A = this chain, B = another copy of it.
C-alpha cells in the first residue's frame, strides 16, 4: 500500500516555485536515515522510545561517542571546544527559538531583527507579543552601528533591549553573511548592552564557495565577556531532514540550563528523543558527513545556475546577491518597482518568489527572495529568464506611463 503525505510547500503546475526554502525531496537521504533508524532499534533499544533526559541524548550531544572532545562532531565546522553543560538537543531551530523567547524575553522587552529578516521568525515573535525592531542590513550583513544606535534609543525610552535574532551566516532571506569585522563588533555590543544574541546557524554546513565564516558563538571566547551572550541554534533540517525535527543549541551553561530545566522539558523530556538518536547514528557512522558533502555539491550547482541565469537575464538596473552558501539569494529591483506588485506578473510568466515586505519589519518592498533548493539547474535558469521577462514587462509599463509608477497588475491580467 502506498500513502500520500502532503508537503508543506505548495507547488503549482506551470510555475517554477522559487518561494520555498525546503530541501528537495529527491535529495533527502532516505537510505541513510532508514539504515540509521534500524540501528536505533538494535543498538539503542527502548530508551530511544521513552521519555529522554531534558538535555537530550548524550549520543547526540557528543556526536556518537564519549565525552567532551567529540562533542563538536555534530557540527563539524563549530571550531570551538564544548562542554556538555553548553549543549542541549532541540526539536529544530524554530521551536527552540520559540521556547527561548518565552523563557528569556519578558512582555515589553525589545527583540532586534535583521531587516530584511527571516519572515517566519518575525511572525513567531509577533505571536509572542514581543516588540520587534528592525535593524538595517547591507551587503556585509547586519549594520552593527545601526544596532548600537537602536539599542541606545530603546534604552533611552526605558525599555529593555533583550535579544538580537540573527541569521549571520548565509542569511535568510538574502544569502549574505555578516562580515568578520562586524562579527567581532557585534559581540562587543552584546557585552556592552547586556544583549542576548541568538544566532540561527541552520545553513552553516551548506557552504558552496570559500569557507563558512566562523559562527558568532565560536568567536565569542575571543571577545572578552561575550560567551555568556551568544546562543547558537543548530539544526539537521537542511543537512538531513526537516521531518525528523532534530536540532541542538549551544550557549552559556546558565542559558542552556534555563532551557533544559523548563517546565516544558521537565514534562516532555527531550523533544526529539527518537529522532535525535537517528541523527546521532548517522553522525557516528560517517553517513552524515558524506551526505553533507553530497548536498553541498548538489545545492552548490543550483546556486551557481541561478546566479549565472540572473547574470545573463536580469537588466542592469537590478542587483542581486551571490551567496556562498544556504538556500536563498536576494534581488533588488529598480527604483520605483514594488516586489509585491511584481508577484502577479511573474506568476503569469511562470515563476514565483516572496516579495520583500514579508521579510521587513519596516515594510520595505524593493527586494525579493529566490530560493534555489527545490529545482534542478536547468529549471533555475528558466526561472531567472521568466523573472527577467516579468521585470521587463513591468519596466516597459512603467516607461509607458511616463515614469511614474502606475502599473496595475489587475488591469493587465488576461481577460481583465
Q: Which A residues lie at the B interface, using CB under 8 A?
A: 1-9, 22-23, 25-26, 28, 30, 33-34, 37-38, 41, 43-54, 57-59, 64, 91-92, 94-95, 98-99, 102-103, 106-107, 120-129, 237, 241-245, 262-264, 266-275, 277, 280-281, 284
Of B4, B30, B103, B280, which is within 8 A of A41 by CB?
B30
For A9, list chain B residues within 8 Å (CB): 50-51
CA distance A51 to B128 in the complex (A): 23
CA distance A9 to B271 in the complex (A): 15
CA distance A200 to B281 in the complex (A): 34
Of B94, B106, B263, which is within 8 A of A120 by CB?
B263
A59 in contact with B106 (CB, 8 Å):
no
A264 in contact with B127 (CB, 8 Å):
yes
A262 in contact with B124 (CB, 8 Å):
yes
A271 in contact with B102 (CB, 8 Å):
no
For A128, list chain B residues within 8 Å (CB): 102
CA distance A234 to B122 in the complex (A): 29
CB distance from A288 to the nearest CB of B (A): 14
Of B7, B33, B53, B245, which is within 8 A of A268 by CB?
B245
Of B22, B91, B103, which is within 8 A of A271 by CB?
B91
Task: Report if A243-B129 is in contact (Cβ < 8 Å); known contacts: A5-B47, A43-B1, A92-B268.
Answer: no
Q: How many copies does the complex hold?
A: 2
Of B34, B37, B53, B102, which is within 8 A of A127 by CB?
B102
Closest 10 CB pairs of A and B: A123-B263, A124-B263, A120-B267, A243-B273, A25-B46, A8-B51, A49-B241, A94-B267, A5-B47, A49-B243
For A237, list chain B residues within 8 Å (CB): 51
CB distance from A278 to the nearest CB of B (A): 9
Of B48, B121, B122, which is within 8 A of A5 by CB?
B48
B57 in contact with A45 (CB, 8 Å):
no
Task: Report if A124-B267 is in contact (Cβ < 8 Å); known contacts: A28-B49, A273-B242.
Answer: yes
CA distance A198 to B239 in the complex (A): 37
CA distance A5 to B45 in the complex (A): 9
